[in-house]
Protein backbone atom coordinates (compact mmCIF):
# COMPACT_ATOMS: atom_id res chain seq x y z
CA UNK A 1 0.00 0.00 0.00
CA UNK A 2 1.39 3.41 -1.01
CA UNK A 3 1.93 5.69 2.04
CA UNK A 4 0.24 9.09 2.22
CA UNK A 5 2.07 11.69 0.14
CA UNK A 6 3.19 15.03 1.49
CA UNK A 7 1.31 18.04 0.15
CA UNK A 8 4.43 19.21 -1.73
CA UNK A 9 4.94 15.85 -3.42
CA UNK A 10 1.26 15.45 -4.26
CA UNK A 11 1.09 18.95 -5.75
CA UNK A 12 4.19 18.34 -7.86
CA UNK A 13 2.93 15.02 -9.18
CA UNK A 14 -0.47 16.55 -9.88
CA UNK A 15 1.10 18.58 -12.67
CA UNK A 16 1.09 15.44 -14.82
CA UNK A 17 -0.84 12.94 -12.66
CA UNK A 18 -3.88 14.74 -11.18
CA UNK A 19 -5.56 11.65 -9.74
CA UNK A 20 -4.31 10.04 -6.55
CA UNK A 21 -4.35 6.66 -8.27
CA UNK A 22 -2.07 8.00 -11.01
CA UNK A 23 0.27 9.47 -8.41
CA UNK A 24 0.46 6.10 -6.69
CA UNK A 25 1.49 4.52 -9.99
CA UNK A 26 4.33 7.00 -10.45
CA UNK A 27 5.54 6.52 -6.87
CA UNK A 28 6.06 2.83 -7.70
CA UNK A 29 8.47 3.84 -10.48
CA UNK A 30 10.47 6.30 -8.32
CA UNK A 31 12.85 5.93 -5.40
CA UNK A 32 13.94 8.37 -2.69
CA UNK A 33 17.28 9.99 -1.89
CA UNK A 34 18.33 12.09 1.10
CA UNK A 35 21.26 14.50 1.17
CA UNK A 36 22.97 16.17 4.09
CA UNK A 37 23.96 19.85 3.82
CA UNK A 38 26.98 20.16 1.50
CA UNK A 39 26.49 16.68 0.02
CA UNK A 40 26.72 16.48 -3.80
CA UNK A 41 23.85 15.02 -5.82
CA UNK A 42 25.95 14.86 -9.00
CA UNK A 43 28.95 16.65 -10.50
CA UNK A 44 29.58 18.17 -13.87
CA UNK A 45 30.67 15.39 -16.21
CA UNK A 46 28.87 12.60 -14.33
CA UNK A 47 26.75 10.21 -16.37
CA UNK A 48 23.13 11.38 -16.54
CA UNK A 49 20.33 8.83 -16.32
CA UNK A 50 17.61 10.28 -14.06
CA UNK A 51 15.28 13.22 -13.34
CA UNK A 52 14.81 14.41 -9.73
CA UNK A 53 11.89 16.00 -7.83
CA UNK A 54 12.65 17.93 -4.64
CA UNK A 55 10.21 17.17 -1.81
CA UNK A 56 12.00 19.20 0.87
CA UNK A 57 15.16 21.25 1.30
CA UNK A 58 17.23 23.40 -1.06
CA UNK A 59 19.72 22.51 -3.80
CA UNK A 60 22.28 24.78 -5.46
CA UNK A 61 23.24 24.49 -9.13
CA UNK A 62 26.95 25.25 -9.35
CA UNK A 63 29.14 25.72 -12.42
CA UNK A 64 32.68 24.48 -11.87
CA UNK A 65 35.17 25.80 -14.43
CA UNK A 66 38.70 24.47 -14.37
CA UNK A 67 41.06 27.30 -13.46
CA UNK A 68 38.18 29.72 -12.82
CA UNK A 69 36.59 28.40 -9.64
CA UNK A 70 32.89 27.95 -8.88
CA UNK A 71 29.82 30.02 -9.61
CA UNK A 72 26.36 29.37 -8.18
CA UNK A 73 23.84 29.65 -11.00
CA UNK A 74 20.56 29.19 -9.15
CA UNK A 75 18.82 27.48 -6.23
CA UNK A 76 16.03 24.96 -6.39
CA UNK A 77 13.51 24.18 -3.66
CA UNK A 78 10.52 22.00 -2.80
CA UNK A 79 8.30 21.07 -5.72
CA UNK A 80 10.91 21.76 -8.38
CA UNK A 81 12.33 19.29 -10.90
CA UNK A 82 15.89 19.02 -12.21
CA UNK A 83 17.86 16.85 -14.62
CA UNK A 84 14.87 16.13 -16.85
CA UNK A 85 16.91 15.98 -20.10
CA UNK A 86 18.60 12.84 -18.75
CA UNK A 87 15.35 11.02 -19.53
CA UNK A 88 16.05 11.56 -23.23
CA UNK A 89 19.83 11.94 -23.65
CA UNK A 90 22.54 10.05 -21.80
CA UNK A 91 25.04 12.89 -22.03
CA UNK A 92 27.24 13.99 -19.10
CA UNK A 93 25.83 16.45 -16.56
CA UNK A 94 26.65 20.05 -17.46
CA UNK A 95 26.77 21.42 -13.89
CA UNK A 96 27.23 20.31 -10.29
CA UNK A 97 24.24 20.14 -7.91
CA UNK A 98 24.73 20.06 -4.13
CA UNK A 99 22.57 20.35 -1.03
CA UNK A 100 22.35 23.71 0.74
CA UNK A 101 20.23 22.18 3.53
CA UNK A 102 18.99 18.69 4.30
CA UNK A 103 17.20 17.52 1.15
CA UNK A 104 14.75 14.75 0.30
CA UNK A 105 14.36 13.92 -3.39
CA UNK A 106 12.46 11.51 -5.58
CA UNK A 107 14.32 10.00 -8.53
CA UNK A 108 12.91 8.71 -11.84
CA UNK A 109 15.50 6.96 -14.01
CA UNK A 110 15.34 6.69 -17.80
CA UNK A 111 15.14 2.92 -17.48
CA UNK A 112 12.12 3.11 -15.17
CA UNK A 113 10.48 5.64 -17.48
CA UNK A 114 10.80 3.19 -20.36
CA UNK A 115 9.03 0.60 -18.19
CA UNK A 116 6.27 3.12 -17.47
CA UNK A 117 5.96 3.90 -21.19
CA UNK A 118 5.35 0.22 -21.85
CA UNK A 119 2.94 -0.42 -18.97
CA UNK A 120 1.17 2.96 -18.72
CA UNK A 121 1.56 4.76 -22.08
CA UNK A 122 -1.00 7.49 -21.41
CA UNK A 123 0.56 8.39 -18.06
CA UNK A 124 3.95 8.50 -19.78
CA UNK A 125 2.64 10.89 -22.45
CA UNK A 126 1.36 13.18 -19.69
CA UNK A 127 4.79 13.17 -18.06
CA UNK A 128 6.46 13.94 -21.40
CA UNK A 129 4.10 16.88 -21.80
CA UNK A 130 5.06 18.17 -18.35
CA UNK A 131 8.77 17.71 -19.04
CA UNK A 132 8.38 19.74 -22.23
CA UNK A 133 6.91 22.56 -20.13
CA UNK A 134 9.77 22.25 -17.64
CA UNK A 135 12.34 22.56 -20.40
CA UNK A 136 10.60 25.65 -21.72
CA UNK A 137 11.04 27.20 -18.27
CA UNK A 138 14.74 26.30 -18.35
CA UNK A 139 15.05 27.98 -21.74
CA UNK A 140 13.52 31.22 -20.45
CA UNK A 141 15.75 31.22 -17.37
CA UNK A 142 19.15 30.54 -18.97
CA UNK A 143 21.43 33.01 -20.76
CA UNK A 144 19.48 36.25 -20.43
CA UNK A 145 21.88 37.98 -22.81
CA UNK A 146 20.46 35.69 -25.51
CA UNK A 147 16.89 36.53 -24.59
CA UNK A 148 15.29 36.86 -28.04
CA UNK A 149 16.41 33.56 -29.61
CA UNK A 150 15.80 31.68 -26.38
CA UNK A 151 12.33 33.21 -26.08
CA UNK A 152 11.57 31.99 -29.62
CA UNK A 153 12.66 28.50 -28.64
CA UNK A 154 10.50 28.62 -25.51
CA UNK A 155 7.51 29.65 -27.61
CA UNK A 156 8.17 26.82 -30.05
CA UNK A 157 8.46 24.34 -27.21
CA UNK A 158 5.15 25.44 -25.71
CA UNK A 159 3.66 25.07 -29.18
CA UNK A 160 5.11 21.58 -29.38
CA UNK A 161 3.42 20.61 -26.12
CA UNK A 162 0.12 22.24 -27.16
CA UNK A 163 0.16 20.41 -30.51
CA UNK A 164 0.33 17.00 -28.82
CA UNK A 165 3.87 16.63 -30.15
CA UNK A 166 2.80 16.61 -33.80
CA UNK A 167 5.12 17.63 -36.64
CA UNK A 168 2.94 20.70 -37.34
CA UNK A 169 1.37 23.42 -35.23
CA UNK A 170 4.65 24.78 -33.85
CA UNK A 171 7.64 26.68 -35.21
CA UNK A 172 9.82 23.72 -36.29
CA UNK A 173 11.60 25.71 -39.01
CA UNK A 174 12.59 28.42 -36.50
CA UNK A 175 14.06 25.81 -34.17
CA UNK A 176 15.96 24.21 -37.06
CA UNK A 177 17.44 27.61 -37.92
CA UNK A 178 18.63 28.19 -34.35
CA UNK A 179 20.07 24.63 -34.24
CA UNK A 180 22.65 25.67 -36.83
CA UNK A 181 24.27 28.02 -34.32
CA UNK A 182 27.44 26.89 -32.56
CA UNK A 183 26.71 28.55 -29.18
CA UNK A 184 24.46 27.71 -26.22
CA UNK A 185 21.34 28.61 -28.19
CA UNK A 186 22.32 26.09 -30.84
CA UNK A 187 22.81 23.42 -28.18
CA UNK A 188 19.35 24.08 -26.70
CA UNK A 189 17.74 24.07 -30.15
CA UNK A 190 19.44 20.80 -31.04
CA UNK A 191 18.23 19.27 -27.79
CA UNK A 192 14.73 20.58 -28.54
CA UNK A 193 14.79 19.01 -31.99
CA UNK A 194 15.95 15.77 -30.42
CA UNK A 195 13.19 15.96 -27.80
CA UNK A 196 10.54 16.67 -30.43
CA UNK A 197 11.70 13.77 -32.56
CA UNK A 198 11.86 11.49 -29.52
CA UNK A 199 8.33 12.33 -28.40
CA UNK A 200 6.87 12.06 -31.88
CA UNK A 201 8.57 8.70 -32.36
CA UNK A 202 7.24 7.49 -29.00
CA UNK A 203 3.65 8.45 -29.72
CA UNK A 204 3.82 7.00 -33.23
CA UNK A 205 5.22 3.79 -31.76
CA UNK A 206 2.28 3.53 -29.35
CA UNK A 207 -0.09 3.75 -32.32
CA UNK A 208 1.77 1.64 -34.83
CA UNK A 209 4.87 -0.01 -33.37
CA UNK A 210 5.28 -2.66 -36.03
CA UNK A 211 5.10 -0.19 -38.92
CA UNK A 212 7.61 2.16 -37.28
CA UNK A 213 10.06 -0.67 -36.61
CA UNK A 214 9.80 -1.93 -40.18
CA UNK A 215 10.42 1.59 -41.53
CA UNK A 216 13.61 1.96 -39.46
CA UNK A 217 14.83 -1.50 -40.40
CA UNK A 218 14.13 -0.79 -44.05
CA UNK A 219 16.21 2.41 -43.88
CA UNK A 220 19.14 0.54 -42.34
CA UNK A 221 18.85 -2.22 -44.92
CA UNK A 222 18.97 0.30 -47.74
CA UNK A 223 22.01 2.02 -46.21
CA UNK A 224 23.68 -1.38 -45.79
CA UNK A 225 22.92 -2.25 -49.41
CA UNK A 226 24.46 1.05 -50.52
CA UNK A 227 27.57 0.29 -48.49
CA UNK A 228 28.06 -3.21 -49.87
CA UNK A 229 27.29 -2.13 -53.43
CA UNK A 230 30.35 0.13 -53.27
CA UNK A 231 32.74 -2.68 -52.29
CA UNK A 232 35.03 -3.87 -55.08
CA UNK A 233 34.22 -7.04 -57.06
CA UNK A 234 36.54 -10.07 -56.69
CA UNK A 235 39.65 -10.01 -58.83
CA UNK A 236 39.56 -11.96 -62.07
CA UNK A 237 41.65 -15.09 -62.48
CA UNK A 238 44.16 -13.17 -64.57
CA UNK A 239 44.40 -10.41 -61.95
CA UNK A 240 44.92 -12.96 -59.17
CA UNK A 241 48.03 -14.16 -60.99
CA UNK A 242 49.53 -10.66 -60.63
CA UNK A 243 48.65 -10.01 -56.99
CA UNK A 244 47.23 -12.11 -54.15
CA UNK A 245 44.52 -9.91 -52.60
CA UNK A 246 42.00 -10.82 -49.88
CA UNK A 247 39.55 -8.77 -47.81
CA UNK A 248 37.03 -9.01 -44.97
CA UNK A 249 34.38 -6.61 -43.67
CA UNK A 250 31.83 -7.13 -40.87
CA UNK A 251 29.79 -4.07 -39.80
CA UNK A 252 28.86 -3.70 -36.14
CA UNK A 253 25.39 -2.71 -37.30
CA UNK A 254 23.33 -3.33 -40.39
CA UNK A 255 24.75 -0.12 -41.86
CA UNK A 256 28.40 0.46 -41.01
CA UNK A 257 31.00 3.15 -41.59
CA UNK A 258 34.06 1.18 -42.74
CA UNK A 259 35.13 0.98 -46.37
CA UNK A 260 37.81 -0.71 -48.42
CA UNK A 261 38.76 -0.90 -52.07
CA UNK A 262 41.14 -2.88 -54.26
CA UNK A 263 41.57 -2.70 -58.04
CA UNK A 264 44.15 -2.46 -60.82
CA UNK A 265 44.92 0.90 -62.40
CA UNK A 266 45.44 1.45 -66.15
CA UNK A 267 49.22 1.73 -65.62
CA UNK A 268 49.37 -1.79 -64.13
CA UNK A 269 49.69 -0.79 -60.49
CA UNK A 270 47.28 -2.06 -57.85
CA UNK A 271 45.46 0.32 -55.52
CA UNK A 272 43.97 -0.54 -52.15
CA UNK A 273 42.56 1.47 -49.28
CA UNK A 274 40.93 0.89 -45.90
CA UNK A 275 38.90 3.70 -44.31
CA UNK A 276 36.84 4.21 -41.17
CA UNK A 277 34.11 6.86 -40.99
CA UNK A 278 33.33 8.38 -37.61
CA UNK A 279 30.11 7.07 -36.12
CA UNK A 280 27.86 4.27 -37.30
CA UNK A 281 24.47 3.79 -38.88
CA UNK A 282 22.86 5.60 -41.78
CA UNK A 283 24.80 8.89 -41.60
CA UNK A 284 28.13 7.05 -41.45
CA UNK A 285 27.13 4.82 -44.38
CA UNK A 286 26.18 7.84 -46.51
CA UNK A 287 29.42 9.68 -45.69
CA UNK A 288 31.33 6.47 -46.40
CA UNK A 289 29.69 6.26 -49.83
CA UNK A 290 30.78 9.83 -50.64
CA UNK A 291 34.36 9.10 -49.57
CA UNK A 292 34.48 5.80 -51.46
CA UNK A 293 33.31 7.37 -54.72
CA UNK A 294 35.81 10.21 -54.39
CA UNK A 295 38.70 7.79 -53.72
CA UNK A 296 37.80 5.46 -56.58
CA UNK A 297 37.53 8.31 -59.08
CA UNK A 298 40.70 10.17 -58.08
CA UNK A 299 42.87 7.05 -57.67
CA UNK A 300 42.76 6.56 -61.44
CA UNK A 301 44.12 10.07 -62.03
CA UNK A 302 46.47 10.78 -59.11
CA UNK A 303 49.63 8.64 -58.90
CA UNK A 304 50.82 9.77 -55.47
CA UNK A 305 48.95 8.46 -52.38
CA UNK A 306 49.68 11.59 -50.34
CA UNK A 307 48.24 13.84 -53.05
CA UNK A 308 45.28 11.47 -53.47
CA UNK A 309 44.36 11.80 -49.79
CA UNK A 310 44.87 15.58 -49.95
CA UNK A 311 42.41 15.91 -52.85
CA UNK A 312 39.83 13.63 -51.22
CA UNK A 313 40.24 15.61 -47.99
CA UNK A 314 39.50 18.90 -49.74
CA UNK A 315 36.37 17.43 -51.33
CA UNK A 316 35.07 16.12 -48.00
CA UNK A 317 35.80 19.42 -46.24
CA UNK A 318 33.77 21.44 -48.76
CA UNK A 319 30.35 20.30 -47.49
CA UNK A 320 30.63 18.59 -44.15
CA UNK A 321 27.75 19.99 -42.10
CA UNK A 322 27.60 16.76 -40.07
CA UNK A 323 31.24 17.26 -38.95
CA UNK A 324 32.12 13.66 -39.81
CA UNK A 325 35.59 12.46 -40.76
CA UNK A 326 37.36 9.44 -42.21
CA UNK A 327 40.61 7.80 -41.19
CA UNK A 328 42.27 6.08 -44.14
CA UNK A 329 45.39 4.33 -45.37
CA UNK A 330 45.87 4.50 -49.16
CA UNK A 331 48.36 2.19 -50.90
CA UNK A 332 49.74 1.92 -54.46
CA UNK A 333 51.59 -1.31 -55.32
CA UNK A 334 53.55 -2.18 -58.46
CA UNK A 335 53.45 -5.99 -58.86
CA UNK A 336 56.33 -5.96 -61.34
CA UNK A 337 58.84 -4.10 -59.15
CA UNK A 338 57.48 -4.59 -55.63
CA UNK A 339 57.39 -0.81 -55.13
CA UNK A 340 54.95 0.07 -52.36
CA UNK A 341 53.88 3.65 -51.66
CA UNK A 342 51.33 4.69 -49.05
CA UNK A 343 49.94 7.63 -47.08
CA UNK A 344 48.13 7.61 -43.75
CA UNK A 345 45.28 9.86 -42.59
CA UNK A 346 44.95 9.14 -38.87
CA UNK A 347 44.57 5.40 -39.49
CA UNK A 348 46.10 2.44 -37.59
CA UNK A 349 49.57 1.52 -38.85
CA UNK A 350 49.70 -1.03 -41.64
CA UNK A 351 52.06 -4.00 -41.34
CA UNK A 352 54.20 -6.17 -43.61
CA UNK A 353 54.36 -9.88 -42.85
CA UNK A 354 57.20 -12.01 -44.16
CA UNK A 355 56.80 -15.46 -45.66
CA UNK A 356 57.89 -16.88 -42.27
CA UNK A 357 55.25 -14.91 -40.35
CA UNK A 358 57.50 -12.13 -39.02
CA UNK A 359 55.73 -8.75 -38.73
CA UNK A 360 57.07 -5.22 -39.28
CA UNK A 361 54.92 -2.12 -38.75
CA UNK A 362 54.96 0.57 -41.44
CA UNK A 363 56.03 3.38 -39.14
CA UNK A 364 55.73 6.94 -40.32
CA UNK A 365 53.74 10.17 -40.03
CA UNK A 366 49.97 9.95 -39.66
CA UNK A 367 48.22 13.20 -40.55
CA UNK A 368 44.71 14.29 -39.54
CA UNK A 369 41.72 12.25 -40.75
CA UNK A 370 40.01 13.27 -43.98
CA UNK A 371 37.29 15.91 -43.66
CA UNK A 372 38.80 17.77 -40.68
CA UNK A 373 41.32 20.39 -41.89
CA UNK A 374 41.17 21.43 -45.53
CA UNK A 375 44.88 22.23 -45.93
CA UNK A 376 46.28 19.06 -44.31
CA UNK A 377 49.38 17.64 -46.03
CA UNK A 378 49.68 13.87 -46.27
CA UNK A 379 53.21 12.46 -46.56
CA UNK A 380 53.89 9.72 -49.12
CA UNK A 381 56.10 6.89 -47.86
CA UNK A 382 57.63 4.00 -49.76
CA UNK A 383 59.42 0.66 -49.48
CA UNK A 384 59.89 -2.56 -51.44
CA UNK A 385 57.61 -5.51 -50.89
CA UNK A 386 59.71 -8.63 -51.26
CA UNK A 387 58.47 -11.77 -52.97
CA UNK A 388 55.81 -13.51 -50.81
CA UNK A 389 55.71 -10.63 -48.32
CA UNK A 390 52.17 -9.55 -47.43
CA UNK A 391 50.80 -6.10 -46.63
CA UNK A 392 48.05 -6.00 -43.97
CA UNK A 393 45.81 -2.92 -43.59
CA UNK A 394 42.92 -2.90 -41.11
CA UNK A 395 40.46 -0.64 -39.31
CA UNK A 396 40.53 0.06 -35.58
CA UNK A 397 37.63 -2.35 -35.16
CA UNK A 398 40.36 -5.03 -35.27
CA UNK A 399 42.83 -3.57 -32.76
CA UNK A 400 40.10 -2.16 -30.49
CA UNK A 401 37.95 -5.29 -30.37
CA UNK A 402 37.06 -5.92 -26.72
CA UNK A 403 36.67 -9.14 -24.78
CA UNK A 404 33.93 -9.55 -22.12
CA UNK A 405 36.26 -7.84 -19.60
CA UNK A 406 36.82 -4.83 -21.94
CA UNK A 407 40.44 -5.80 -22.71
CA UNK A 408 41.52 -4.68 -26.20
CA UNK A 409 42.80 -7.07 -28.86
CA UNK A 410 45.47 -4.47 -29.70
CA UNK A 411 48.51 -4.61 -31.94
CA UNK A 412 49.87 -7.27 -29.59
CA UNK A 413 46.94 -9.49 -30.51
CA UNK A 414 47.74 -9.07 -34.20
CA UNK A 415 51.39 -9.96 -33.63
CA UNK A 416 50.48 -12.96 -31.50
CA UNK A 417 48.06 -14.49 -34.00
CA UNK A 418 50.59 -14.08 -36.83
CA UNK A 419 53.34 -15.67 -34.76
CA UNK A 420 51.73 -19.04 -35.39
CA UNK A 421 53.91 -19.64 -38.43
CA UNK A 422 53.97 -19.01 -42.15
CA UNK A 423 50.81 -18.43 -44.16
CA UNK A 424 50.20 -19.69 -47.66
CA UNK A 425 48.42 -16.61 -48.96
CA UNK A 426 46.45 -13.46 -48.26
CA UNK A 427 43.17 -15.25 -47.66
CA UNK A 428 44.73 -17.48 -45.00
CA UNK A 429 46.33 -14.48 -43.30
CA UNK A 430 43.03 -12.57 -43.25
CA UNK A 431 41.20 -15.60 -41.88
CA UNK A 432 43.81 -16.09 -39.16
CA UNK A 433 43.44 -12.49 -37.95
CA UNK A 434 39.62 -12.55 -38.14
CA UNK A 435 39.45 -15.84 -36.21
CA UNK A 436 41.73 -14.44 -33.52
CA UNK A 437 39.65 -11.26 -33.19
CA UNK A 438 36.37 -13.17 -32.92
CA UNK A 439 37.88 -15.59 -30.39
CA UNK A 440 39.11 -12.63 -28.32
CA UNK A 441 35.69 -10.96 -28.54
CA UNK A 442 33.94 -14.17 -27.43
CA UNK A 443 30.45 -13.28 -26.12
CA UNK A 444 31.10 -9.53 -25.94
CA UNK A 445 29.04 -7.46 -28.42
CA UNK A 446 30.88 -6.15 -31.46
CA UNK A 447 31.50 -2.47 -30.76
CA UNK A 448 32.90 -1.37 -34.12
CA UNK A 449 33.10 -2.43 -37.75
CA UNK A 450 35.85 -4.96 -38.50
CA UNK A 451 37.62 -4.50 -41.83
CA UNK A 452 40.96 -5.68 -43.17
CA UNK A 453 42.70 -6.31 -46.48
CA UNK A 454 45.84 -8.26 -47.28
CA UNK A 455 48.01 -7.88 -50.39
CA UNK A 456 50.73 -10.45 -51.14
CA UNK A 457 53.45 -10.12 -53.77
CA UNK A 458 53.52 -13.16 -56.05
CA UNK A 459 55.72 -11.98 -58.97
Name, of 121-130, 320-329, 399-408, 413-422, the range with top average pLDDT. Answer: 399-408
* Same domain, yes or no: 195 and 241: no
Statement to judge: residues 53 and 137 lie in one domain:
no
Residues 375, 283 within the same domain: yes
pLDDT at 143 over 50: no
pLDDT at 72 over 70: yes
The pLDDT mean for the chain works out to 86
Count CB neighbours of 122 within 10 A. Answer: 8
* 151 and 63 housed in the same domain: no
Choose the final residue of a domain: 166, 200, 229: 229
- Cα–Cα nearest to 88, from 126, 135, 46: 135
Q: How many domains does the chain have?
A: 3
Last-in-domain residue among 229, 253, 273:
229
Considering the domain architecture, whether residues 225 and 246 belong to the same structural domain is answered as no
Same-domain check for residues 22 and 145: no
Same structural domain, 222 and 243: no
Say yes or no: 318 and 244 in one domain.
yes
Residues 238 and 224 reside in one and the same domain: no
Whether the model pTM is above 0.85: no
Among 86, 113, 140, the domain-final residue is: 113
Looking at the structure, do residues 403 and 267 belong to the same domain, yes or no?
Answer: yes
Q: What is the pLDDT of residues 235-265, one digit of tens each?
A: 999 999 999 999 999 988 777 789 999 999 9
- Both 259 and 406 in a single domain? yes
Residues 167 and 72 in one domain: no
CATH no. for residue 103?
2.60.120.10
Q: 348-406, pLDDT tens digit by residue? A: 999 999 988 899 999 999 999 999 999 999 999 999 999 999 999 999 999 999 999 99
For residue 14, the enclosing domain spans: 1-113
Amino acid sequence: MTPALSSTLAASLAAFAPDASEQSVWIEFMDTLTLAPGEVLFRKGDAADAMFLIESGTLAVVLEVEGAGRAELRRLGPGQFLGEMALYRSEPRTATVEAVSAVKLWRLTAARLREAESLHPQLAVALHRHVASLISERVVFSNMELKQPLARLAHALRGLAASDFSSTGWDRSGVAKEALRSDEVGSVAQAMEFLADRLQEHIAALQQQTAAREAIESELRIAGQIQFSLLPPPLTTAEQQRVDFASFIQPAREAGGDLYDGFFLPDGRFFTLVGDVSGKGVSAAVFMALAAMAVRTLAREVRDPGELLAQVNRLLCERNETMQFVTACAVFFDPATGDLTWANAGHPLAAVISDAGDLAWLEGPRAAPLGVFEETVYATQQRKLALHETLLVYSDGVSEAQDPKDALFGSAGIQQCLAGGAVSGSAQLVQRVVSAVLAHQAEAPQADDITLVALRRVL
